[in-house]
Structures are given as C-alpha cells and as structure tokens.
Amino acid sequence: MVSSVLPDHVPEELVRDFNIYAPPGIEEDFHQAWATLLHEGNDCPLVWTQANEGHWLPTRSSIIEEILTDYTSFSSRSIIIPKSHSADHGLLPTTIDPPEHHFYRKTLNHTMAPAAVNAMGEDIRRIVISLIDGFVEKGQCNFTREFADILPIRVFLSMMDLPEDDIPQTKYWTDQLIRPDGSISFADALQKLKDYIAPYVDERMGKDGADMLSRMINTESKGRRLSREEAIKLSIQVFIAGVDTVVNLLGFVFLFLARNKNHRLQISQGKTSAAQAVEEILRRFPIVTVAREVTEDMEFHGVHLKAGDIVAAPTPLAGMDNTFTPNAVDVEFGRKDGTSLTFGRGAHTCPGKNLARVELRIAIEEWLKRIPDFHVDGDSPVSFSSGIVGVVNELKLRWS
C-alpha cells in the first residue's frame, strides 16, 4: 500500500521511508524503532511517508499532543491508517468529534468510573493469583500465553458477562483490526465482531443488569438512550480495547521488570508503591498509534497541510522525547516531571485507563509476592510487532 504519486503540497525533502507497521529495527526494540523519528525533530516537525496510502508523521511529542487535543483541526473521523480502513471502522465514540462525542463519552465514563472499577479489585486479584499459582512452581512460564493473554480478557469478559470460551475467536478478529495479517479483511473482521455482540445487545437492551454491557447500553443521559446500532458499535469499541490494549501493556511492563532488578527491588522492598511504578513504566512505554484527519487547509508548524490529509499520532515517541519529559528514557519511580501520552489526550483520552491501572498494579503486587526475582528466558529471544498497538510477540520468563 505504498502511494506511487507524491501529493503536490508535500515537499520531497520531507519524505521519509517509514512504515508504522514495520518501523526500522522493530525486530530488536519496538520503542527504539519509533525513536528514529525523533532524530528528525530539529529540522522537520512533521515528515511524510508514502507507505499505507501516504500520511504525515510528527517528530515531537508536543506536536502529537496538539493533534490529539485540537479536534477542530484534526478530526477523529479517520483514526485508522491506511485511511481507506477508517471508512470501514465507524465505531463509537472513537470516530466522532465533540460535541456529538459527549453523549457516548458520558456513557463510557459512567460505566468505567473509578468506583465501578475499584469494586472489581478483589475479583481481579483472585484471577491474578490463580494464574500465577498455576505455573509458579515450574520456575518458568510463557508470560504472554499463560498470563498476559488471559488476565485482561478474563477480567473484561467477567465484567461484560460474556463466555470465556469465546476468547480465542474474538481475540483473532480483534487482532485483525489492530494488526492485520491479511488472513481476513478489515471489514470482514469488524462484521464478525458485530455479528458476535449483537445477540447480547438485543438480549440486554431495556433490561436491568449489573454487568458492564447492560449498564453501558442502558445508560440514559438527558432523556436519551443508545439506539441498537449505537449500542453495537459502542460495545465493539469497548470490546477491542478490553481484549487488546492491556494485554500488550502487560508485555512491556513485565519485560521491563524482568530486565531491571533494581526497579523490582524498589517495589518489593516498599521503596515505591506498585501504583507509582505503574505510572512511570506506562509513561516510558506508550504503545498506541492512532490517526487524525486534517479538516481544512492550514499551516501547521511551518508545514502545509491540506484538508483530508491523514496525520499519525504515535504516542511511543513520548516515552523517549527529552523535549517532552526530562531524561525521558530513564525510568525513575516517583518522578515529578513526567508527562504521559500513554492513554491519549483530549476528548478521546482512553476511558479504560482506570481499569488498566488497577489490573497492572494488582498484577505487579501479586507477582512480586510470589516471584520477586525473575528474568527473560535467554533461550527465547524477544521480538516485537508494530501497528495501531505495539506488541511484545512472546515473552518467556524464568526464576529460581
């Protein structure tokens, strides 16, 4: 999907060979692969790539923050790269802008409020403990398959009151939206998820229910409720986030802890809390790259943008950009000067951020109680994949 024709308004000197699905060096380090864009920042606040139908790439985190917060200039109607896939997306509320966005966001905020998430704490802890107890005596595990792939999905399906047996199939469809491998089209994967969730929406609309799906689709705001189509679209968006993003955050968090004994000791010895550790590791290792569509011809940081242009917003840059956070690459628990884009910014800040933090905090607390000293299995090299969400492909751990 490399565009063969350079748009007239794009100077040749701003063109770079950069594919967000395969940035240079992705096999060795996901974040360092993205860091190659930071080297352009002194002279080129934005660069252009012909990959994936052509789009802009900002080279500084402050510009990414502007793009994410200025919805009048950078619309969420196209959030997927390439742009043609956004036409198939159409989910709520990620593809609409304020003020229309407010009703749907209020519904999500109500469902994912801190009090509602904190009430799940002991259930999450039970799941975490049961997973760790299943392999702790072996002295090793495939962390990806035996923990990260299971925990967030079990928590999420429990909250939504959906069958755990559906995990493999629904995860496959979700993966094809986030990191397509060509085995099924984007549109077909999205339709499969719609067909999956629709019967549950039909069954629970208009009925009282304690589960998250029932509460979400039946929330009323100013006398208005979701239509059936809106409920399906909103449910799928929440589903995608619930079965993918936290799975991959766990991979990067525990890869860091496995490689950094001193940081593990700070937590296990009580020098810092797991909650503080989560905040700093998340700041350092953002993994999401969404897109925005330029709404009108404009000059932006000295670059001419045309209406309809796509601009990527790669949050992975924020964890390494010293102009955004001093000594950004250093993980310093308890730091006061960190600025994070891990959960986005502006109207579309991730509504599931509270749940993600709770899951990560409890996972670290219970893991370090049982496995305080662990490392990456030297016989299993770590590799990465890039896309809308970055991935540690497989993480195997060992301990005494």
Residues 333-353 pLDDT 10s = 989 888 899 999 998 898 889
Decide: 350 and 104 in contact? Cβ < 8 Å.
Answer: no
At residue 252, the pLDDT reads: 98
Q: Which residues contact 305 (CB under 8 A, 6 or more apart)?
A: 9, 56, 294, 297, 298, 299, 311
- Residue 351 CA, chain-centre distance (Å), reads 11
**Residue 164 above 90 pLDDT?**
no
In this prediction, residue 117 has a pLDDT band, given cuts at 50, 70 and 90, of confident
At residue 39, the pLDDT reads: 84
Which pLDDT tens digit goes with each residue over 242-285? 778 899 999 999 999 999 999 999 999 999 999 999 999 999 99
Q: In Å, how far are 7, 14, 299 from 11, measured between CA atoms?
A: 9, 6, 14
∠ CA 58-63-69, nearest 5°, is 120
At residue 88, the pLDDT reads: 64
In this prediction, residue 169 has a pLDDT band, given cuts at 50, 70 and 90, of confident
Q: Which residues contact 220 (CB under 8 A, 6 or more apart)?
A: none
Q: What is the dihedral of CA 208, 212, 218, 221, to 10 degrees?
A: 130
Give me the mean pLDDT over the 8-35 stretch: 95
**Residue 110 above 80 pLDDT?**
no
Q: Which residues contact 332 (CB under 8 A, 6 or more apart)?
A: 280, 338
Residue 327: burial class (beta carbons within 10 Å; 0-12, 13-18, 19+): exposed
Rounded Cα distance between 318 and 310, Å, is: 20
Decide: 284 and 342 in contact? Cβ < 8 Å.
Answer: no
At residue 165, the pLDDT reads: 87
Radius of gyration of the chain (CA): 21
Maximal C-alpha separation, the chain: 63
**Residue 332 above 90 pLDDT?**
yes
Whole-number percent of the chain with pLDDT over 90: 66
At residue 124, the pLDDT reads: 94
Rounded to two decimals, the pTM is 0.91
Lowest mean pLDDT among 37-41, 223-227, 229-233: 37-41
Closest CA to 14 of 44, 52, 53: 44
Decide: 191 and 185 in contact? Cβ < 8 Å.
Answer: no
Give me the mean pLDDT over the 367-371 stretch: 98
At residue 284, the pLDDT reads: 98
